[in-house]
Amino acid sequence: MTTRVEQDAPIWKRGWGWLEQQARLGVRSLRGHFVRRGVPAHRFGWRHVEAPPLRSSATGYRSIHAPARAENPLPLNFTSRDHLPNLVHWWGYSMRDVPDRLSDETFVATFQDATITAYRDALGEFYPGILSREGHAINLREIKFRPGHGEALRAAKAAGVTPVRRDRVVWVLERVHENHSHWLTAHLPKLLLVKQLGLLQHVLLPERLKPAQEASLRMLGIAPETLARHDESRPLLVSELTLIGTDRFRPELLRPVREAMAPPLPLAERTRRLYISRARARFRSLLNEDEIWPMLDERGFERIFMEDLSFEEQVELMRRTSCLVAPHGAGLTNMMFCAPDTTIVEIASLGFPNPNFYALAAAMGHAYYLVPADEHGDVEPLKKNMTVPPERLRDVMRMIDASTGAL
């Protein structure tokens, strides 16, 4: 789109800008042309990197779970799949896809002489990238070679940074691994699988672990102090690299984590009814929480703040929960540690629908309800606060009352 400033510029200046743009496009095209014909990507500062199918670079490949089509129930307060949002956004699937969502393959692949680099974006979030011996990108679901990786490699070379060299590495770290949901649903299943495969000694952990990350590792029977750490400030050269490809919402990967960390208790010990509050959160708060609280309070719910509890306490609380109600947020990920058939009620805006908690509830075998909320605020969609019309939540609570014989 042409801006007003560009329209007001002299004709010769606008023409020069067009020529500059065409020249840049031409240079990019030439880089791609030469790289595709075998010129190493590093000759162009990794500004163009090809990404052929992963298996073409692998020297070993083992499939553990084949791709599989799910048969998940609808949210229990929905009567038609057509009533679910069909917006995909960056999650790669929509809420309407969850009932028969395709789970990706679980696999173990090995590569010789690989390079791993990483950078952090403006928000400080971690992004790893991997190159094969041939200089091709090795891309997985949440690991992709991006322009920032080329910049990181160029900067390291210019500064004379010495790469770290390791004979063998099992790489499990994905994008934004510090995020609570990503750590629990993506990284813990990988780590448990690696442990079962007898490859744990080759895993690299982040240099710094959050308390919840460290606690979760110990609960999986993994001692963090026994594993090497990844220095993200330096490129990593690996003689033999093992990658684990997983899907975040495969029951075969998620349920073993629950069995290892939070074995289900007898039904008689699962009596807690919890509401996870986001009143202290910086964004995505439920603005009318106090308005809807009486209908939960009269049903025996407890209002909790996950930030007041240690990770171990959070897990134990989930083990004893029969019904969990919460606005969309990271705390809902802890449903992983609830026993099968736990009732889960997610309050969420359907204007920018995130299907992940629906998919997670289905994978864990929970009874899932989705209460549409209204969003508020002139901010990016993921940060908008919410209100829920009380009658919407009341209708769902009455359904739950009827199913449990309560009230």
State yes or no: pLDDT of 249 exceeds 70: yes
Determine the pLDDT at residue 222.
98
Tokens linked to 400 = 């739950």
pLDDT average, residue stretch 209-214: 98
Mean pLDDT over 130-139 rounds to 97
CATH C-level class of 262-404: alpha beta
**CA atoms of 123 and 224, how far apart (whole Å):** 26
The pLDDT score that the predictor gives to residue 1 is 46
**pLDDT-based confidence at residue 13 (cuts at 50, 70, 90):** low
pLDDT for 130 equals 99
Query: How confident is the model at residue 26, as a pLDDT?
Result: 63
Q: Sorting pLDDT into bands at 50, 70 and 90, what band is 120?
A: very high
Assign 282 a pLDDT band (cuts: 50, 70, 90). confident
The residue-averaged pLDDT of 242-262 equals 98
pLDDT the model gives residue 331 = 94
Q: Would the pLDDT of 24 be above 70?
A: no
Reported as a single tens digit per residue, the pLDDT across 166-209 is 999 999 999 999 999 999 999 999 999 999 999 999 999 999 99
Mean pLDDT of all residues in the chain? 93
Q: Given a cut of 60, is residue 7 above it in pLDDT?
A: no
Structural domain spans, the chain: 44-64+104-256, 262-404
Tens of pLDDT, residue by residue over 322-373, are 999 999 999 999 999 999 999 999 999 998 899 999 999 999 999 999 999 9
- Mean pLDDT, rounded, for 53-67: 97
Q: Which residues pair with 117 in a beta bridge?
A: 129
pLDDT (0 to 100) of residue 25: 64
Q: Would you state the pLDDT for residue 358?
A: 98
> Which pLDDT does position 16 carry in this prediction?
61
Residue-wise pLDDT for 91-106, tens only, equals: 999 999 999 999 999 9
Least-confidence region, from 80-84, 121-125, 349-353: 349-353
The strand pairing partners of 230, in sequence order, are: 206
Least confident of 26-40, 117-131, 142-156, 305-319: 26-40
The answer, yes or no, to whether residue 2 has pLDDT greater than 60, is: no
Range with lowest mean pLDDT among 15-19, 91-95, 108-112, 310-314: 15-19
Residue 5 pLDDT class (50, 70, 90 cuts): very low
pLDDT at 6 over 80: no
